[in-house]
Structure 1
Amino acid sequence: MNILKNYIGGEWIESNSKETLDVLNPASQDILAKVPFGPDTVKDVMSATASASKAYNEWRNVPVIKRVQVLYQLKSLIETNVESLAEIITKESGKTFAESKGEIQRAIENIEVACGTPMLMAGDFIEDIASGIDEMMIRQPVGVCACITPFNFPSMIVFWFLPYAIATGNGFIIKPSEKVPLTMMKIFEFIDQLDIPKGLVNLVHGGKDSVDAILEHPEIKAISFVGSTPVARYIYSKGTSNGKRVQAQGGAKNPVVVLPDADIEMSTRIIADSVYGCAGQRCLAASTIITVDDQSRKIKEALYETVKGRTTGYGLDQGVDMGPVITADSKTRIEGLIQKGIDEGANVLLDGRKTSISGYEKGNFLAPTILENVALDKELIRTEIFGPVMSLISMNTVEDALSFVNSGNYGNMACLFTGSGASARKFRNEANAGNIGINIGVAAPMAQFPFSGWKDSFFGDLHGQGKHAIEFFTQTKVVIERWPKKWSRKF
């Protein structure tokens, strides 16, 4: 069985740790590889940081217009290998092949935006800010940066950060999720072909030991993270206490409000895609669907009819709409939360717990589930399920819905489906979430915009993607100059 290597100093090297974890295909439980794990991975982080620091001192002085040339090369390599890369993503994360290809496209879009860094990191200049004095603000790289990524998007999330970090002149270390390390192994085959200093971009494996080493190492100046809220809070707290700048994206409980004037056919199709895409394992998955003044139950019935026809199965098979959840533990946890909702008084419209896929009986499969009339004063309505479960609730007015939306601890996304411009304007103005969708089920910002998040969904100031990423990976320096005439050379 293949034991994965680290990529440090421009070379593939064995980990210092002899302890490993199995990388499993969630649809079949086949062992795909073994990934280094345990306390000895700390030594790997130390080695990667030393390599990145040395390479950074060379790279930071390369003109930015030359630094972005490697991004064009990386973009081309990924585009040429989309099919093979998507197959790896599906095998280790469980999502469908189409979802995997869509994820890669989002990664490519971030590379394209980062290619604009020569303009995006431009500073400011004012001549004669005082008599005979000029002042300027320039942006310089922060140093060695690190990225700790989750299992649900093995390729895309890294690219919220990586292209911006190296385009602005930094060194970089990636610690992928130990559940899905193979995608990043493939991407590092492309990085190995880039014309960059050896050690500029490094890959280290491991779990909490590796993470803590990253959080504590004095040479690592900035950390990017995406994951659950408890871990995001830990990353932010420990990272900042060690003097690092941190951007930590947390969990979500995303509400979707459907008004009576919404286009029912369009809305239900989009909402179903939002709830059950990637088996509900994404931070922008719709979770709680709030129907407003749906006295005839048209919206609820349309949602039920749309959802019950979705096909669950292995993501590489034709005609499959939804794959398995990532682990057997995740499946058990989600099943427990469904039962908790029932115990709290919810009705089951669709129950996906007893799902078996022919040929993949050992897989972590759950079919789409719908819980109706979920209690507003109980635990489930506030809990991030992170699985293929829709919670349906009814309210009388859009004001009631907005009040409910704003009462939650999370603030990643909130969406509204309506035919009214006035209702849409009110919602986007008053809803307390960082990403707002109007007749959109997954309000995922394009790469030109920051992936926003409020409240317990984000810890930090600057988000991933776009200008926020440029600002995060640079530090400003203000220069004030005076050149008296008596010091000037005469020509």
Structure 2
Amino acid sequence: MKSIVGHLINGELVPDNGDRLQDVYNPATGEVAKQVALASKATVEKAIAAADAAFPAWRNTSPAKRCQVMFRLKVLLEEHSETICNMITDEHGKVHHDAMGELTRAIENVEFACGAPQLLKGEHSKNVGTAIDSWSEFQPLGVVAGITPFNFPAMVPFWMWPLAIVCGNTFVLKPSERTPSASLFMAQLALEAGLPAGVLNVVMGDKEAVDTLLNDKRVQAVSFVGSTPIAEYIYTTATANGKRVQALGGAKNHAILMPDADMDNAVSAIMGAAYGSCGERCMALPVVVAVGDEAGDAVVEKLKAELSTMKVGPGRDNNNDMGPLVNKAHFEKVKGYVDKGVEEGAILVVDGRDTVIKGYENGFFLAGCLFDHVTAEMKIYKDEIFGPVLCIVRVKSQQEAMDLINDHEYGNGTCIFTRDGESARYFTDNIKVGMVGVNIPLPVPVSYQSFGGWKRSLFGDLSMYGPDGVRFWTRRKTITQRWPSSQIREGAKFSFPSNN
């Protein structure tokens, strides 16, 4: 009998009362490794109730005491890093060193959250009027929720709950049912670090769990990362119910390759950004826009050579560069896009569809694929494939390349490879994308910045973590106060108050 991943509610590991289970695969072997319980509406409501009951005491806990929990959590995460990374690799498939990079970025968000006393400082103005003082405070919302994707089971939840919790909220996390174990284990470490029961709850589930969070009046805010159709559904549904929402959706990130670029370094950067984590990143680089045929020919030849030496295999082997896709359904979906690209007339320079790894013949392995002469009308260009498929588009000028990017429905991340400062400055000033790199193919902001795209890559007004995260998880309250002097008696004033 396979082990079953349950829920964490009010500080206790609990099974679900229902009988709905979903298989969790080891992508390298193709075997079912365990099962996850899919929460019923009643189970999610128990988690919300636990968070609601824990809120008053946690709200009144000082920010300094809240961040002490985060300091202890950081130490525990580092002590258990191997265990966490093995969980990620065994359920997602990414190579162990890539999982370690993910965990490191997760811990950086804990470090940022440790600054809660500074982050939550308000503003004070004395004598805005005669004997009148005014100040602002940042107060918690209450019960809040996070819904996270399969591809970053450690990092993305840590974009949300550490900061939400140090701001004084209580939290219900709904991780991806495809990769449940790391999120649950890390929440248990938070309890070990001293987080009171009920402040952080974890429920596994599918649409039933999501809809319960979106419709329950006790939930004040929802944070989401996933595909654009689901992001739009979550934003529309939750805002209709009066909730604050940040919903990060899909991406189709482009890199412009200028003729003057350092070609060797650009190709190395493109390889990692396009094929790292098997392309299952919202900041992956699936499109290179080569300016001029000379740049196009050069990058295709160099990428072809690099792909011939790229090591594909199980993620537990740290010598590999790329692991398998997360499950068979996703493998078939990505493979179908490669088939479609050939049908549409793109030139498949490197074909990774027939990859078989000795000893792992049933794993979900698709080696890197490279298309040349892709056009903007093709489905492989328009859609977010979320796999190891790189498309080369050829244009004649930087402006044509930028117009291509600006016309796309997504605006998550982009970059330019160039030695020319004027080209780079024009690009960063005028590109309609939320996160921009110059000779940096994965311009993921650090924890004390904020992460978020434009257009249909983000629904909501505030980005993830960093300064925007503090604003998202709090409400500003402005207080104006006067203590009249006992020596002075003023009459009623009927005009609008001012300093005139």
Specify if TM > 0.5. yes
The answer as to 2:353 corresponding to 1:353 is: yes
Bigger mean CA deviation after superposition, 270-279 or 307-316: 307-316
Q: Note the C-alpha offset of 1:288.
A: 0.8
Alignment-derived partner of residue 85 in structure 1: 84
Alignment-derived partner of residue 494 in structure 2: none
**Structure 2 letter corresponding to 1:413:** G
Alignment-derived partner of residue 459 in structure 1: 459
**Aligned ranges for residues 430-469 of structure 1 at < 5 Å?**
430-469=430-469
Q: Note the C-alpha offset of 1:471.
A: 0.6
The answer as to 2:82 corresponding to 1:50 is: no
Alignment-derived partner of residue 213 in structure 1: 212
SS for the counterpart of 1:12 is: strand
Alignment-derived partner of residue 123 in structure 2: 124
Q: Note the C-alpha offset of 1:480.
A: 0.8
Judge conservation of contact 2:258–2:417 (CA < 8 Å) in 1: yes
The answer as to 2:258 corresponding to 1:284 is: no
**Aligned ranges for residues 383-422 of structure 1 at < 5 Å?**
383-422=383-422
Q: Note the C-alpha offset of 1:33.
A: 1.6
Alignment-derived partner of residue 99 in structure 1: 98
Distance 1:306 1:418 in 2: 21
Alignment-derived partner of residue 312 in structure 1: 312
**Structure 2 letter corresponding to 1:364:** F
SS for the counterpart of 1:138 is: strand
Judge conservation of contact 1:223–1:247 (CA < 8 Å) in 2: yes
SS for the counterpart of 1:68 is: helix
**Structure 1 letter corresponding to 2:90:** K
**Structure 2 letter corresponding to 1:23:** V
**Aligned ranges for residues 254-403 of structure 1 at < 5 Å?**
254-295=253-294, 297-403=297-403
SS for the counterpart of 1:485 is: coil
Q: Note the C-alpha offset of 1:304.
A: 1.8
Distance 1:202 1:155 in 2: 15
Distance 1:322 1:378 in 2: 26
RMSD between superposed Cα atoms in Å: 1.2
Tell me how many residue pairs correspond in the alignment. Answer: 486
Distance 1:298 1:35 in 2: 47
Q: How has the CA–CA distance of structure 1 residues 97 and 59 changed in structure 2, closer, same or farther, with 3 Å as cutoff?
A: same
The answer as to 2:56 corresponding to 1:31 is: no
Distance 1:487 1:247 in 2: 52
Distance 1:278 1:270 in 2: 14
Gapped regions of structure 2 (runs ≥ 5): 489-500
**Structure 1 letter corresponding to 2:301:** E
TM-score, length of structure 2 as denominator length: 0.95
| CA offsets 1:20-60 (integer angstroms, 9 cap, x no match) | 011111111222221112xx621111001111011111000
| CA offsets 1:368-422 (integer angstroms, 9 cap, x no match) | 0001111222322111110000001111110110111101000001110000111
Alignment-derived partner of residue 199 in structure 1: 198
The answer as to 2:54 corresponding to 1:41 is: no
Distance 2:416 2:425 in 1: 10
Q: How has the CA–CA distance of structure 1 residues 291 and 44 changed in structure 2, closer, same or farther, with 3 Å as cutoff?
A: same
Alignment-derived partner of residue 171 in structure 1: 170
**Structure 2 letter corresponding to 1:25:** N
SS for the counterpart of 2:477 is: strand
Judge conservation of contact 2:138–2:474 (CA < 8 Å) in 1: yes
| CA offsets 1:229-286 (integer angstroms, 9 cap, x no match) | 0000001110111110011010100001010111111100001100001000000000
The answer as to 2:8 corresponding to 1:7 is: yes
Bigger mean CA deviation after superposition, 209-218 or 177-186: 177-186
Q: Note the C-alpha offset of 1:169.
A: 0.4
**Structure 1 letter corresponding to 2:344:** E
Judge conservation of contact 1:292–1:395 (CA < 8 Å) in 2: yes
Q: Note the C-alpha offset of 1:487.
A: 8.5
**Structure 1 letter corresponding to 2:49:** A
Distance 2:450 2:33 in 1: 34
**Structure 2 letter corresponding to 1:471:** R
Distance 1:320 1:292 in 2: 32
| CA offsets 1:159-202 (integer angstroms, 9 cap, x no match) | 11111111010000111100000111221231221323211100
Distance 1:354 1:161 in 2: 39
TM-score, length of structure 1 as denominator length: 0.97
Bigger mean CA deviation after superposition, 137-146 or 296-305: 296-305
**Structure 2 letter corresponding to 1:280:** G
Judge conservation of contact 1:290–1:401 (CA < 8 Å) in 2: yes
Judge conservation of contact 1:41–1:205 (CA < 8 Å) in 2: no
Gapped regions of structure 1 (runs ≥ 5): none
